[in-house]
Amino acid sequence: MTDTVISSATREVVIGFDRPFVMIGERINPTGRKLLAEEMRAGDFSRVEADALAQVAAGAQMLDVNAGVPLADEPALLASAVKLVQSVTDVPLSIDSSVIEALEAGVDAYVGKPLINSVTGEAEVMERVLPLVARAGAAVVAISNDETGISTDPDVRFEVARRIVNAASDYGIPAHDVVVDPLVMPIGAMATAGRQVFHLVRRLRVELGVNTTCGASNVSFGLPNRNIITGTYLAMAIGAGMTSAIMNPLHAEVKAAVMAADVLAGNDQNCAAWIAEHRDRSTLGADRTASGGTAPGERPRRRGGRRALTG
């Protein structure tokens, strides 16, 4: 069993084996969002606040906060965004940047134990990021690429992850505080992208005993009806042992797939979360069954077609 505990000032979230899947809201990220980037550059965080509240209301247990606005003071923006989000919600945060100075500013502004997103297998990056993780007593996302880039061989990516876990240990960071991102590629460009991640997640769980995450929307990039692809991918990843993802909980199909996979994996005890989410519809179905007919407002179903087989 591996548990990664992330906390705010008043709430803990545990990412772990045989625990409910943790949805980390992805929306507070100006990448590809021109209007949000312009607003953040101008010091307007109203959309950040709205995105934070909407994602938590939709069921996100954590939020990823990124302030990577080109030609802006990213450390100052990230610190401001972290403070603002913590003022409107108590869910723990993933502090997201590829700039070490921004990570430092975000961590300094944070109250609690954050998830630092991220460190790669590049020696220089590990030497800069891992001391920050250790000093902050934080957990860290380990992205399985290094100086050679992203390998198309999942076993090479596994060895990069192993190297990061070992390097983290040298800084006193336990394996349970390293959450590995096996790097899902767009399935439209690489037909084996899904299989590679499922293979990697199983090895990471069994051989390294670490939790896993991913940028879920990457898998469906460039395809139509993306939410179905993303939701199905996450359900299959949960079946392989993935324990969290940076995703959009506002996409109903994706969220439903995650919750259903939790039920089928036995991670939603007594199906409590599923029942709470779908109680109204469950009650409607129960009323229809009990009455032997249709619920108010429903059209009756035609009875026809094949007869049921009997023994």
| 160-196 pLDDT, tens digit each | 999 999 999 999 999 999 999 999 999 999 999 999 9
Give the span between the Cα atoms of 82 and 106, in whole angstroms. Answer: 6
Q: How far is CA 84 from CA 16, 44, 68, 81, 188, in A?
A: 28, 11, 16, 5, 37
Domains in the chain, CATH or no CATH each:
3-266 (3.20.20.20), 271-297 (no CATH)
Question: Quick one: 138 exposed, middle or buried, by C-beta within 10 A (0-12, 13-18, 19+)?
Answer: buried
What integer pLDDT is reported at residue 203 of this predicted model?
98
Residue 212, classed as helix, strand or coil, is strand
Phi-psi region of 265 (alpha: psi -120 to 50; beta: other; left: phi over 0): alpha
Residue 20's closest CA among 281, 194, 271?
A: 271
pTM of the predicted model as reported, rounded to 2 decimal places: 0.90
DSSP state at residue 173: -
Q: Which pLDDT belongs to residue 279?
A: 86
pLDDT, one tens digit for every residue, the chain (311 residues): 699 999 999 999 999 999 999 999 999 999 999 999 999 999 999 999 999 999 999 999 999 999 999 999 999 999 999 999 999 999 999 999 999 999 999 999 999 999 999 999 999 999 999 999 999 999 999 999 999 999 999 999 999 999 999 999 999 999 999 999 999 999 999 999 999 999 999 999 999 999 999 999 999 999 999 999 999 999 999 999 999 999 999 999 999 999 999 999 999 999 999 999 998 665 545 544 444 544 444 444 444 444 444 44
Residue 201 to residue 216: CA distance in whole angstroms: 14
pLDDT at position 281 is 61
> Which three-class secondary structure string do you get for 283-311?
HHHHHHHHHCCCCCCCCCCCCCCCCCCCC
Check if the beta carbon of residue 14 is closer than 8 Å to that of residue 5. Answer: yes
Q: Looking at residue 283, what is its pLDDT?
A: 54
The one-letter amino acid at 171: Y
